[in-house]
Amino acid sequence: MNLFIIDYSCHPFSLDLANQFAKKKIQIKYFFSKNVNLTGNYYFFFKKKFSIYPIDTGQIPKHNFIKRRFKEIEFAKKIIDHLKKNKPNKVLLANLPIDALYLIIKFCKKNKIQTYFWMQDIYYLAIKNFFKKNKFLYFFIGFFISKIYEYYEKFCYLNSSKNILITSNFLNFFPKKKNNFFINNWIPLDEINLVKANKKVIPNLSKKFNFLYTGTFSYKHRSDILLKLAKKFKKSRVIILSNDKFASEIVEKAKKVSINNIYLHKLIPYHQLSYLIKKCDVGLVNLNEDSNNVCVPSKILTYYKYGLPILASMPLTNPASQSILKYKTGFVSNPNQINKYLDNAYKLINSSKLRRTFSKNEKNFAIKNFNIKKISKKFIEILEL
């Protein structure tokens, strides 16, 4: 098997999968956007096992949609150049923007290369929700843009050789089709060359109760709820690891209302993250109502791995919420239930016994569900069908 794995954001789980494939003597080439990379230099630890290609398109203006689109198309064109040169027989695609995904799948279909759409989010719904926040903008241009991207994403779904979805909920928004498979996301259990986080980057975390939010902030997340949390529990810290402008805006808003226990830091490399998580008390995750059908927050899986109890504000119908409730790994409240959210935070702060119970349940879940040998076997079975 000659396989391309393309994960635009370079997630730990896709690197973990590629590494396991390489151990099985599968010929792997792994591609990602060097300018979007979420894991820092974590990918360096795998270079001897399989070929890795960071695709450089220059700085990506995340919040300028037109310029960003050109960068995403440039990424797709560079991937297509590699496809022409290397002629793989299979391509596994994850976390790609729709424009890039559409161009790559269209090229592969024309050139009889099998594609596997590894669906992590539904982008066309996110685009639609963004425009609907402004009714004038939506009816003037947003409706048509949403329809274009709906067509693109459904084209990718219908024209991929097989689809691998992280939740069956996604099927509610696409036409009926055979060759759909379901594999939940995971986090690598193996600790690869762990490095202590730089003390200049991370503050002293002792002596206070520490809430941790790590990852991206976007239109699908609620920033106001973190302000309310910090204001209510002034003796605690709310630590945010993010590079997004939304995270910077939280700090600015906090200063204006004299909230001084929110700490913003840039994302640290994935292999340093465990050092920080082990010094925190509760992991935070939130999602607004509009984005409930769009995504499944994967950061809870990182919390599971390290046994960090979860405080979540999300629709209870989201698969991530259902996981937290089913396996008793933390508290979840609906986005509009602010008082319940704060009450849940109070319970976590004041009960170390409760935190230990949640932590134990998380670690048990991770051991049972994050076994890369079993997960890779499922992928191989799909790829060889």
- Specify whether 26 is located in the same domain as 175: yes
Close Cβ partners of 33 (under 8 Å, ≥ 6 residues apart): 8, 9, 10, 54, 55, 57, 60, 75
- Specify whether 224 is located in the same domain as 90: no
- Specify whether 180 is located in the same domain as 213: no
Give the whole-angstrom CA distance, residue 210 versus residue 277: 10
For residue 99, the enclosing domain spans 2-187+371-383
Pairing of strands 90-94, 2-7: parallel
Give the whole-angstrom CA distance, residue 147 versus residue 139: 12
Cα separation values, 34 from 7, 10, 187, 356, Å:
11, 9, 21, 38
- Specify whether 24 is located in the same domain as 144: yes
Q: What single letter denotes the amino acid at residue 51?
A: S
Q: Is residue 252 part of a domain?
A: yes
DSSP string for 258-303: T---EEEEPPPPHHHHHHHHTT-SEEEEE--GGGTTTB--THHHHH
Residue 187 CA from chain centroid, whole number: 11
- Specify whether 77 is located in the same domain as 94: yes
- Specify whether 150 is located in the same domain as 174: yes
Q: Is residue 376 part of a domain?
A: yes
Give the whole-angstrom CA distance, residue 286 versus residue 240: 13
- Specify whether 327 is located in the same domain as 377: no
Q: What single letter denotes the amino acid at residue 218?
A: S
Give the whole-angstrom CA distance, residue 171 versus residue 86: 33
Q: Is residue 203 part of a domain?
A: no
Q: Is residue 108 part of a domain?
A: yes
**Residue 265 corresponds to which tokens in the numbers above?**
């830091």
Hunting for tokens 């690197």 — which residue is that? 15
Q: Is residue 195 part of a domain?
A: no
Q: Is residue 95 part of a domain?
A: yes
- Specify whether 164 is located in the same domain as 272: no
Residue 246 CA from chain centroid, whole number: 17
Give the whole-angstrom CA distance, residue 287 versus residue 76: 29
- Specify whether 113 is located in the same domain as 127: yes
Q: Is residue 194 part of a domain?
A: no
Q: Is residue 254 part of a domain?
A: yes
Q: Residue 222 in contact with residue 335, Cβ under 8 Å?
A: yes
- Specify whether 107 is located in the same domain as 235: no
Number of domains composing the chain: 2
- Strand, coil or helix: 117: strand
Q: What is the CATH number of the domain that holds 215?
A: 3.40.50.2000
Burial class for 209, CB neighbours closer than 10 Å (0-12, 13-18, 19+): middle
pTM: 0.90
Q: How many CB atoms lie within 10 A of CB 310?
A: 24
Q: What single letter denotes the amino acid at residue 204?
A: N
- Specify whether 158 is located in the same domain as 238: no
Per-residue pLDDT of the chain (385 residues; tens, 9 = 90+): 899 999 999 999 999 999 999 999 999 999 999 999 988 888 988 888 899 999 999 988 877 888 999 999 999 999 999 999 999 999 999 999 999 999 999 999 999 999 999 999 999 988 888 887 777 788 888 899 999 999 999 999 999 999 999 999 899 999 988 899 999 999 999 876 555 555 555 656 677 899 999 877 766 677 789 999 999 999 999 998 887 777 778 888 888 899 999 988 877 888 888 878 888 999 999 988 876 667 888 889 999 999 999 999 999 999 999 999 999 999 999 999 999 999 999 999 999 999 999 999 999 999 999 999 999 999 999 999 8
Across the chain, how many H-helices and E-strands are there?
14, 13
- Specify whether 268 is located in the same domain as 163: no
